[in-house]
């Protein structure tokens, strides 16, 4: 009988812990969710087989390295943001960049204009083109998964 109660209590604690984790995870606000939905609609126009975004693909995208065709140097998002989005990064002139992960910096990914502005600038800088809607959606999904 006692064992039964203990088991019941333990199960309750585990359930509570699970529920707390769900509440602790940050979620995009309404405007940012709309932007992500629009990325998904666009991504599906390019490739109807796209079912949704992938945090794993977003992580790969963030860590990929390529050589800039004009500057002839290795470029990557992680050059400035580091491989850990929970940590601050640095610009080439040494200015601190606050962490990109919303769980480490609650101002991140709250303003759609800011998001689009920096995607445009940083994608051009690293990839020499705009990022695709799939890349942007995967990347945001990755950051909100941290
Ligand atoms: C040359 C340095 C540099 C590189 C490389 C770089 N970024 Fe950034 N990024 C910045 C700076 C500077 C900011 C703006 C300052 C801030 O918001 O703290 C920023 C901000 C952002 C933001 C705005 C997030 C928000 O809503 O606050 C996004 C999104 C972003 N970067 C994505 C990327 C991606 C994706 C890549 C790779 C394709 C990348 N960055 C590469 C320097 C860089």
Query: How far, in Å, is the centroid of ligand 1 from the Cα of 65?
Result: 15
Residue at 81 is within a domain: yes
The parent domain of residue 47 ranges over 28-144
For a mutational test of ligand 1's pocket, the pick from 81, 87, 134, i.e. the residue with the most ligand atoms closer than 8 A to its C-beta, is 81
CA distance 92 to 105: 21
What pLDDT does 53 receive? 97
Q: Are the beta carbons of 145 and 26 closer than 8 angstroms?
A: no
What pLDDT does 22 receive? 46
pLDDT tens digits for range 58-80:
999 999 999 999 999 999 999 99
What pLDDT does 1 receive? 52
Which pTM value belongs to this model? Answer: 0.86
Residue at 121 is within a domain: yes
Residue at 1 is within a domain: no
Residue at 47 is within a domain: yes
Mean pLDDT score, 29-43: 97
Residue at 97 is within a domain: yes
Query: How far, in Å, is the centroid of ligand 1 from the Cα of 24?
Result: 25
Domain tally, the chain: 1
């Amino acid at each position: 009988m006692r064992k039964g109660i203990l088991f019941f209590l333990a199960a309750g604690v585990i359930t509570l812990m699970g529920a707390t984790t769900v509440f602790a995870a940050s979620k995009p606000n309404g405007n940012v969710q709309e932007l992500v939905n629009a990325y998904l609609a666009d991504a599906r126009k390019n490739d109807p087989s796209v079912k949704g975004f992938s945090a794993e693909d977003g992580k790969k995208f963030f860590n990929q390295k390529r050589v800039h065709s004009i500057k002839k140097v290795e470029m990557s998002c992680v050059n400035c943001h580091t491989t850990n989005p929970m940590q601050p990064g640095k610009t080439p002139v040494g200015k601190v960049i606050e962490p990109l992960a919303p769980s480490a910096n609650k101002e991140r990914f709250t303003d759609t204009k800011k998001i689009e502005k920096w995607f445009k600038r940083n994608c051009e800088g690293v990839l020499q083109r705009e990022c695709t809607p799939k890349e942007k959606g995967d990347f945001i999904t990755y950051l909100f998964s941290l």
